[in-house]
Amino acid sequence: MNIIQLYQDYSIPYYESGNNVGVGWINIQCPFCNDPSNHLGFNLEHNWFKCWRCGFHPTMTVIAKLLNINEQDAQEIIRNYGGMTFFPERSTRSKAQEKPFRFPPGTEPLSKAHWKYLCGRNFDPHILKTQWDIRSTGPMSILDGSDYKHRIIAPITWNRKVVSFQSRAVTDRQIPKYKSCPPEREIVPYKNILYGQQAKWGKTGICVEGITDVWRLGPTAFATFGVQFTVQQVTFMARAFKRIIVLYDNDPPGQAQADKLVAELHFRAVEAGKVNIDGDPGSMAQDDADHLVKEIMK
């Protein structure tokens, strides 16, 4: 999008260099926060906005806010300045893989302790083992200096190939709760893709935060590995689904990001909305989760 021409035509002060302006960015004062400087950047390569104080903002929302118009009119203006309703094809990889991919040492089939943990969370370990190929580590598991002991290991598959993994601690004493594959060993960076079973996706998908949420809701769901979604993830969503229901955790950060994601999907002509529940999807009773999925998929 020719953002400089848009700024010039609408008399919006902008900065191509100076404080807070990185290479390949055009910055302005952010209209969404109490911005004392020019923190809202537009990335010239990927065509998206990010404020270095308050975070990512959907393109259509930014233009509507700057010009004091509705988002439908903003979308038309974006098109007039060469903006797109989708992002061009690009590799899912962000850098060269430095080390061969591997799971943490000692990764093995689910142990009794991990089996007990999953049952305690009302998961069926038989189903999870079969559907998601989850595994476990024991009391000793160090990979590249990082400790992966006493964790459930969830392979991350993309285009029918295991490209990374994420682990989940089985005790509250372990920090962080989730720990991913070392970046230098990932075949594809996990935040560039989605967690789920691509072969089983249909026209409607349910977007959730984490891997345990997907386990609870089943193969119609996919996860963004947290509420901070990326441009690459939104791009793949728009290609894979015609309709998406966002089911992030019912807390302020989760709901704020859900609103942003819905706006970005609308911009890419995807029918999107959100559903609120008490707590998080991974903690739902299985019968309630199954009923919710049936209602959404109607």
Instruction: Quick: pLDDT tens for 68-122.
Output: 988 877 877 887 777 653 333 344 555 556 899 999 999 999 999 999 999 999 9
Q: What pLDDT score does 221 carry?
A: 97
User: Cα-Cα-Cα-Cα dihedral of 236, 242, 247, 252, to 10°?
Assistant: 70
How is the chain split into domains, by residue range?
3-80, 112-191, 198-296
What's the CA gap between 99 and 76, in Å, rounded? 46
Q: What pLDDT score does 77 carry?
A: 84
The CATH classification of domain 3-80, taken from the options 3.90.1150.10, 3.40.50.261, 3.90.580.10, 3.40.30.10 = 3.90.580.10
Q: What pLDDT score does 92 carry?
A: 52
> Is 60 within 8 Å of 266 (Cβ atoms)?
yes
Hey, which residues does 30 pair with through a beta bridge? none
The CATH classification of domain 198-296, taken from the options 3.40.50.410, 3.20.20.100, 3.30.2010.10, 3.40.1360.10 = 3.40.1360.10
Instruction: Quick: pLDDT tens for 63-72.
Output: 999 999 888 7
Per-residue tokens: 18: 């100076």
Mean pLDDT of 50-61: 85
Per-residue tokens: 250: 């019912």
Q: What pLDDT score does 152 carry?
A: 97
Mean pLDDT of 249-278: 89
Asked if pLDDT for residue 146 goes beyond 80, the answer is: yes
Residue type at 84?
A: M
The second-level CATH assignment, the architecture, of 112-191 is Alpha-Beta Complex (3.90)
> Is 108 within 8 Å of 205 (Cβ atoms)?
no
Helices and strands in the chain: count of H runs, count of E runs: 9, 14
What's the CA gap between 281 and 277, in Å, rounded? 8
Mean pLDDT of 197-209: 95
Asked if pLDDT for residue 245 goes beyond 90, the answer is: yes
Mean pLDDT of 14-38: 89
